[in-house]
Homo-oligomer: A and B are copies of this chain.
Amino acid sequence: MMKIEISKKQKNKKTKSSTITAKKVSESELRQDIVTGDWVVIATGRAKRPEDFANVEYSTHNLETSTDNCLFCDPEKSGQEKDVLIYRKEDGDWTLRVFPNKYPAFSRGRVPRSLEEGPYFAMTGTGYHELIVTRDHFNHLPDLEIVEVAEVFDALQDRYLDLMKKKSVNFITIFHNYGKEAGASISHPHSQLIAIPVISPYIRQELAGAKLYHKSNKKCVYCTMAKYESDHKKRIVFENDSFIAFCPFSSRSAFEIWVMPKKHSPYFERITNDDKIKLAEVFKNALTAIKKTIDNPPYNFYIHTSPCDGKDYPHYHWHIEILPHTSTWAGFELETGIEISMIRPEVAAKALRQSLDLENLK
């Protein structure tokens, strides 16, 4: 594979996020479940009246795709918040920009304040919510060039490194919604980054599991998976020398794919430029395989990485989880957290890699 360097000179940080004046402060609260210790966000800055919850419109398969009233094609014109990061081509036109969400679920820059009520505990919803927007309205991540996908990871790393320094930030989640059923409200391609004071329950569970597995087996559970999948090829979708994409043995969704560095690495934000390109190649192929195999379904992806709360997480291993939406979640799944997948990951993986039409993977 050709080595392509992301040119650092093209980066142009217009505004430091710390200097942004929050125009719309969202009065949100992080409330703790006293049974499980998990958190919920009550975002009253986005509050509605009770009657506004009636007649919720449920979405059809496709988002409106016109550029005419797109909020992200020209973020300045549509009154978005000021950029915290912008990448430009030589000719000055932008290729990627990052700006705070105009309707954040969290109030920026404040130190979280404790709120108590009887047996309950809450804190003010301090955090940062940023949008990472690529230039073209129609070209989504699988449609971009590898170097353009790498640029997205570069921007995510850049923002991660900036936000992890903030006093109130202990955890940063990066995710992407494609399609209305996956929660996208704007069709223009964008990823999201939310930096908050509390660690998500899923990551807490993975951290605990990875630590326990290491204690019992003296090795990383994710390294074990990556090696097994690369050796046995049953569930592999695509790989290069640095990254592997495979359908996990215990897939929660049909056609679920995990993308993982082959080398043990707890922290996404320490990714090298070379590895951003390698990651982009594998990731683009994974998304392309999903798009081709199951006809452009809605999907979410998430970067799972260690918290940034000042502690070390030597046994964790960052990775990306891609979850296509091929059915509506029903009561059983929502209730139990036990998903019912109607296709074996082995069958899904075979179809996915065949769609890529790569001789060596058939």
Contacts and interface: CB of A to CB of B under 8 A. Distances in A.
Contacts of A294: 50, 53-54
A90 interface: no
Contact of A250 (B33, B200, B248): B33
A175 interface: yes
A120 to B, nearest CB: 4
Q: Which of A248, A295, A332 has the most CB of B within 10 A?
A: A332
Interface residues of A, number: 100
A202 to B, nearest CB: 5
Contacts of A333: 183
A68 B15 CA distance: 63
Contacts of A137: none
Nearest to A28: B340
Nearest to A231: B118
Contact of A323 (B37, B221, B248, B334): B334
Given A209-B36, A213-B34, A200 B336 contact: yes
Tell me whether chain A's interface is mostly helix, strand or loop, or mixed. Answer: mixed
A278 to B, nearest CB: 24
Given A34-B209, A37-B209, 9 more contacts: A33-B209, A35-B210, A50-B293, A50-B348, A58-B60, A58-B61, A175-B335, A181-B328, A302-B331
Interface of A: 31-44, 46-48, 50, 53-61, 105, 117-120, 122, 173, 175-177, 180-185, 192, 194, 196, 198, 200-203, 205-206, 209-210, 213, 221-222, 224-225, 228, 232, 248-252, 254-255, 293-295, 297, 300, 302, 323, 325-345, 347-348, 351
